[in-house]
Amino acid sequence: MNKERKLFGTDGVRDIANSGKMTPEVALKLGRAFIKHTRGRKIVVGSDTRLSCRMLEGALISGISSEGADVHLAGVIPTPGVSYAVKALNADGGAVISASHNPAEYNGIKFLGADGCKLSDDEELAIEDKLGSFPNTSGEIGRVYDSPELVKDYAQHIASLLEPEAAIDGTAFDCAGGASARSVPVLIEHTDFSRLNTRVIASEYDGLNINRDCGVMHMDNLTGYVKAKNLTLGFAFDGDADRVLISDSQGRIIDGDIMLWVLGRWLKTRGNKKVVVTVMSNMALEAHFEREGIETLRCPVGDRYVLELMRESGAGLGGEQSGHIIASEFTATGDGLCTAMLFLNAIHDLQEDVQTLVDRFGRYPQRLTNLTLKRPREQVDMAAVDEIVSEYQAKVKGGRIFVRTSGTEPLLRILVEAPALETVEELSGILSARLEEYC
């Protein structure tokens, strides 16, 4: 299809709750259109902890059930928990009500297929095409089942992935006031973490504090805690727990690139020699993989684009610098809790010193600048932006410049990467000033 999506962005439909694209009316229409497109009869629905989730949940499941499909309502559960439940129940698809890393005033809806994976651009476009009025002529009404056990089932599954003796004494989990708050305690209970010095923070939620000064968007909360409590490491999640970032004992951040470096070497021992990364990943990662005999493939930003290229290329691992990691042997979508357990397995099996990873990775200096858009992103003159970028790209020897509009926020993102920090800082400032007028 050549048409552009109007509602869906890089991670579902998202907006400030109760306005714009994210009203109960839109949620109801999306639920009906989803069933019209998939013809599914069993759908799993979950959400994060936002105040607006129950409002949108009622509308969404009304749309789904009005088309004759049954709903298994999981309640507060990570996005990958819905993915797991879809496959465990042999359901026809899933829906997640969450705005991921965004503040509490936002919310969103994303759909999963019967394979537990996010839908393709074409599938989302097909749903948009069915958003008109389509009365249910059959009169069939689907049932809604409360299924809170799905959260526990998912957490126990994640716990089963952790190898014996791989849990580390002195570990913290930052739940971001979000969906992982109900899963992490079950995970701890069913692993060796239950007998070790394990801490859980930002696990209380009131519908308004999701991602507020905690989780992956505010790593100071975790890094400061790890240092203050003399812990070994910590894991921070985002609101729907499909992302994870790590703090070492010194409070330094182990991001998705470093996790991919570790997991790539670990999965190579299991036969995987290809890793998919996005255009945002640091160039140092490619250099490391080249030395290890691991092929690096790049794709656009978005974990579903990562998964698409993984499928096309046969790669068993892919992910983003932001902490979305997919290891296809273990999960069908980005999964922060799963990634945390696999990372622990990897450093245990590889006998890695987790405290030296940041130093040894040797990251190229990189600066990401976000400019706020004052107009819809569709109206940004990207041809003119690209022309300016090309002008400066020639000046970045051994480096690169990448500029794009965000698919989830009204931002123009400017990434500059080069061997010299001075070059990065100078060009970031110049480009920010020149591109401001296009925002």
**d(C-alpha 182, C-alpha 201), whole Å:** 12
Rg (CA), the chain: 21
Indicate if 100 belongs to the active site: yes
Q: At what angle do helices 149-161 and 79-88 cross, to 10 degrees?
A: 100
Q: Which of 83, 100, 180, 183 is catalytic?
A: 100
Closest CA to 188 of 174, 176, 205, 200: 200
User: Is 394 buried (19+), middle (13-18) or exposed (0-12) by CB count in 10 A?
Assistant: exposed
Contact 88, 158 (CB under 8 A): no
User: Is 63 buried (19+), middle (13-18) or exposed (0-12) by CB count in 10 A?
Assistant: buried
What is the 3 state secondary structure string of 30-91?
HHHHHHHHHCCCEEEEEECCCCCHHHHHHHHHHHHHHCCCEEEEEEECCHHHHHHHHHHCCC
- Which residues are designated catalytic? 100
